[in-house]
C-alpha cells in the first residue's frame, strides 16, 4: 500500500511521496521490495495514489528487485481495505501478505511473518512490534470482508472484525513520521 499522502511529513510529501523517501539512504519502498523478494513473496501488487508516477518510476517493472510487479491506482485515500480491494479487483489473489510501503522492517521479518501466518491456519494475521504497537503488516485470507465496511476510510481492522486474527511478533520497524525523522534515519551521526 503506497497510496497515502503522508500528511504529517508535509511539506516534504507535497513534492515526494512518503514511500520514495529514504531510510539509511535507500527509498523505503525499495527496501520493502528487496525484503519481499528475499522472502520469496510475489507477485506483488503496489497500490499507488499520491504522486503515483514517482513510485511507479522508481520500481519500474520490478525486474531490478527480482519481482513480478503490477501497479494499481487508488484515486483517493480511502483506507487500507479499499487499497486491498482495488488490488484484488486488478487480479491479486488471497491469501496474501499486505504491507504499508512506509515502514522499514528488520531483515527477514517479512519472510518469518509470512511463514508464521501460513502455518497458523488463522483467517488473518496482524504484526505486533516489541512495544506492543501494531505494524501495517497483515496476513489475509479469502475470509476477509472488503465490502460493506463503515467509511470512508475503509480500514482492514474493520475488514477482519469477527475473524480469527492471530497476532504475530516482528522486530522493531523504522518509519518516517515527521520531517525531522528523515534527518534522524539518514544521518545518525548528527544525534
Residues 141-187: tens digit of each pLDDT: 999 999 999 989 999 999 999 999 999 999 999 998 889 899 999 99
Residue 85 near residue 59, CB atoms below 8 Å: no
Which residues of the chain fall short of a pLDDT of 70?
Answer: 191
pLDDT score of 190? 80
Torsion of CA 157, 158, 159, 161, to 10 degrees: 90
pLDDT of residue 109: 96
pLDDT recorded at residue 67: 96
pTM (2 d.p.): 0.92
CB 103 within 8 A of CB 137: yes
**What integer pLDDT is reported at residue 151 of this predicted model?**
87
- C-alpha cell recorded at residue 171: 522486530
Give the architecture-level CATH label for domain 7-175: Alpha-Beta Complex (3.90)
Amino acid at each position: 500500500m503506497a497510496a497515502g499522502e503522508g500528511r504529517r511529513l508535509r511539506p516534504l510529501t507535497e513534492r515526494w511521496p512518503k514511500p520514495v523517501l529514504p531510510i539509511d539512504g535507500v527509498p523505503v519502498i525499495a527496501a520493502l521490495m528487496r525484503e519481499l523478494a528475499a522472502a520469496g513473496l510475489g507477485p506483488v501488487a503496489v497500490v499507488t495514489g499520491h504522486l503515483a508516477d514517482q513510485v511507479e518510476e522508481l520500481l519500474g517493472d520490478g525486474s531490478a528487485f527480482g519481482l513480478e510487479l503490477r501497479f494499481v491506482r487508488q484515486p483517493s485515500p480511502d483506507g487500507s481495505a479499499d487499497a486491498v480491494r482495488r488490488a484484488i479487483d486488478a487480479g491479486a489473489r488471497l491469501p496474501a501478505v499486505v504491507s504499508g510501503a512506509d515502514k522499514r522492517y528488520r531483515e527477514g521479518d517479512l519472510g518469518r511473518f509470512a511463514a508464521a501466518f501460513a502455518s497458523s491456519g488463522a483467517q488473518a494475521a496482524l504484526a505486533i512490534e516489541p512495544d506492543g504497537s501494531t505494524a501495517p503488516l497483515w496476513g489475509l485470507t479469502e475470509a476477509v470482508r472488503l465490502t460493506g465496511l463503515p467509511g470512508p476510510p475503509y480500514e482492514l481492522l474493520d475488514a477482519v472484525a469477527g475473524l480469527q486474527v492471530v497476532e504475530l511478533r516482528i522486530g522493531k520497524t523504522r518509519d518516517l513520521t515527521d520531517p525531522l525523522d528523515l534527518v534522524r534515519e539518514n544521518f545518525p551521526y548528527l544525534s
